[in-house]
Chains A and B, each alone.
Chain A
Amino acid sequence: MLINPRGETLKKKNLIIGITVVFPSIVAIAIFVYGFISWTLRVSFSNWNSFSSLLRGIYKFVGFRNYERLFQDYRFQTDLWNTLFFTIFFLLGTIALGILMATLVDKGLKGSRIFQNLFLFPMAISFVVTGTVWSWIFAPGTLPNNPQGINLLFTKLGLEKLMWGWYTSTDSLGHFNVALIPVIIAATWQLAGYTMAMYLAGLRGIPDDIIEAAKVDGANEWKIFWKIKMPLLTPITLSALIILGHISLKIFDLVFAMTGSGPNFVTDVPAIYMFELTFRSNRYAMGSAIAIIMLLFVAVVIIPYLVTSLRGGKR
């Protein structure tokens, strides 16, 4: 390729302009994201567990003591189990429902456009609103005589056997607190539509001729779905897992508005505990430790994705 001197200066000029445009945001991100992450990390290794020690500002390094205390803490242990089960069921629920709705809408039946929008609407609502409304729906009322919400519906339908305490229940199966079920339902309701939108985009991107070819070869709908569509949708599933996974690991507002920590912390999550430790107990170091642990969780999910997608970009 021929390089004329003019082109080179243009390139240089572009480079300078590019850097000047990007520079402020790089600085801002360096300070407000990475700077504060390292500050939080520093606080999490300190003894700043009261307002006065924070204010005095004398830094005393205590190593992993805050982390040790957290992992011995009954509430934090419950939080970790809750996060695990919430994430698993929430991901399964949203992805299964998302695929189902996307497939139905993709069939292009009459009125599918309306449903496509209807399914997507919940995503536009804030988590706080969702939480408040679902907390009314799943409020059990005083059983068995004065049911409320969904329990009342069951009574009207003659399904009294299905009534239970929902998020006020303190039962658990192994480490899974059943009170999480209504929270998972609410979260799934909110984000299944979004997952549907992602899959729908994926499905519409599959060329018709592949499907046609499969049909000619005698594959039925079921086989086409599992052997052709699903493998082609793998990148979509991966993105959905990442996006939904990091939402569920960090979830705060939905749970806070819907159930709070719950009796015996059955619906507590690390983010709520972090908030209470920091802003109610003034235990800033312990709160920071939870923040760092949550960051690590999210990193475990995000970093492999970033690595693969960056590699993909190079290719």
Chain B
Amino acid sequence: MRFAPFSKALAAVLALAGFAFGQVSAGVAHLQPPATVHARAHATATAVFQISVDAGYHIQSNHPKLDYLIPTRLTIEPAGGVHATRVAWPKAQNHTFSFSPGQPLAVFEGRFAVPVTLATGAAGMQVLHGSFRYQACNDQLCRPPVTQPFTLVVAVR
């Protein structure tokens, strides 16, 4: 099946706009929430968030090894009977930095996915609000903690 030129252009524009508007991008770590999550009523679904950290930087893992470090958090507020039941962080990377000789730190670097399990309620289109909190460093300095809000659309049928 062939599509008219305007359809191709429209699809490209909407895809680009969706990426640009959906991406949470302040600082050196960038969160891409999933497009609309489709789920059945009174069941579970998975929303996969994509996170990328700029080259040369790391963010603390969800369980830093030192108590003074700020853990990375993904928080989703319940709405319309939909709530997050589990955030499946990847295994942290243990790296030693010039400021932590002999003390590997548990960090996230590069690109990685974070699947979040959602429990749904009654049918309906739900818009959930959440936040992505992280604190980034490179080998020489640290940036202040960042809390970035995002929205997640869940279509429950």
A and B: bona fide binding partners: no
* A-binding residues in B (CB < 8 A): none
* B-binding residues in A (CB < 8 A): none
